[in-house]
A and B are shown apart, each in its own frame.
Chain A
Amino acid sequence: MMDREDRRPDLSVLDPGLGDAGYWERLRAAVLAGAAFELARRRETARASVTAVLSSWSRKLIPATLAAAAAAAFLALSENASDQGEPQPLALEDVLDEGAAEGLSWTAENAAASPVAFMAFVEGHGR
């Protein structure tokens, strides 16, 4: 059984929203109007912080990116230069991978480069 003293007193008469459905929304609007300046200040501060972080990153990233690009360009040019030199002897792996054994002309110089080339050279001279 409920203790009479622990029954809920009706304090709704103290609720300013009683009979005035828009009261709390108006109070909220009034609070937000009072807070408008501080909210705007905070937005501005946050925007300035983001800009500052991005610009600090860009100060470090741009030189690093330029250096990396220069290094990549240098390497690419170096590889092009070496590609234009004399053909390199084929290794066994290259022959097997590319199926390039047929049609090659073997010489004593390049036959020494791999066992397959060597065998082809010997067989050619044995016939």
Chain B
Amino acid sequence: MVEDHDELAALVHARLSVAGFTADRFGTQELGRLALDAGSYDALILDLGLPDGDGLELLQWLRSRGSTIPVLVLTARSAIADRVTGLAAGADDYLVKPFSADELIARIEALLRRSSAKYDATLQCGAIAWDRRTRSAHIDGHPLAMTPRETELMELLITDAGKVVRKSKIETCFFGLGEDFSSNAVEVSIHRLRRRLEVANAGVEIVTMRGLGYLLRVAT
């Protein structure tokens, strides 16, 4: 982590430790460069306003050396133009201050998931444990039997649990399965998956968002 504000750096560092990450803190571009040269890191958290210049210079330097490690930029600048500049310079994600620790950690986990297959990939929602590699769900240790469409649906919903999964995205996935499907195929599959989850006591619900799609969340 390259961040010159000591207190903020210490707080973020503490949260990262709690979440199971090991992080080194550096306060300037110069120290950041030395550390990136010497060590092997899985991700970089980079502040843009550094005492020895703009953090984007460090980012450009890093990318010019061919490094592909994921970079999460922290910034006080929210203007879209600044965001575009940051992403163009090689940032993978962008977090505007202030941010919650949960959000920061979720973003880093997402970056690591994207960048490396070795990152452990079991997603949990309610009582469901979803294995990203085998694409299978277990509830309290028991495997959940699903049809290919339901598996597809489950993957989309649990990957973005708590967020709206657009119906058009589900239809595209179904189309990719190569089978013919009727206009209400999505509704039918959702209905079946709901029944299955209810029977298995999965502790989750699929909410219908009219005009948008569906959302998987822990049952209230």
> A and B from one assembly?
no
- Contact surface of A with B, Cβ cutoff 8 Å: none
